Amino acid sequence: QVQLVESGGGLVQAGGSLRVSCAASGRTFSSYAMGWFRQAPGKEREFVAAISWSGGSTYYADSVKGRFTISRDNAKNSVYLQMNSLKPEDTAVYYCSAAESFPRTTTAGYAYWGQGTAVTVSS
């Protein structure tokens, strides 16, 4: 089992950058593929990015490809999402999640979730 805690959300202007982080508890972090999802007000939770167990492979939603970068540091039990060229439509609560398979792009593929961190992009 793994527990996930996100941090780093906040308010940023359009075109700006922000990095959100996710700290995992437990000694089995490296045995999970990790993902980021987001949920905007009134919308369903959607896939953003995923990274494999070693970090050697990544996968992105088309809407963020080229702007967002997912990475992980297994020594620190952490996964990150670097967000550049932010747009108002990126405004959402961002969730970290853990899965046994890679890549998984639906919420059903992830067993563990954090509580989320809010990102607001102003125009």
46-95 pLDDT per residue, tens: 999 999 999 999 999 999 999 999 999 999 999 999 999 999 999 999 99
Q: How many helices (H) and strands (E) does the chain have?
A: 0, 11
How many Å apart are CA 11 and CA 42, to the nearest integer? 19
pLDDT at 10: 98
Residues 3-16 have pLDDT tens digits of 999 999 999 999 99
Mean pLDDT of 93-107: 96
**Cβ pair 100, 112 in contact under 8 A:** no
For residue 26, pLDDT over 90 is answered with no
d(CA 47, CA 49): 6
Angle at 58 between CA 52 and CA 61, to 5 degrees: 125
Decide the pairing of beta strands 10-13 and 117-122. parallel
Statement: residue 27 has pLDDT above 80 = no
Q: Give CA–CA dist 70/98, Å, rounded.
A: 13
Contact 48, 79 (CB under 8 A): no
On the question of pLDDT at 38 being above 90, the answer is yes
Q: 20 falls in which pLDDT band (50, 70, 90)? A: very high
Main-chain phi, psi angles of 86, to 5 degrees:
-65, 145
Residues 105-117: pLDDT tens digits?
999 999 999 999 9
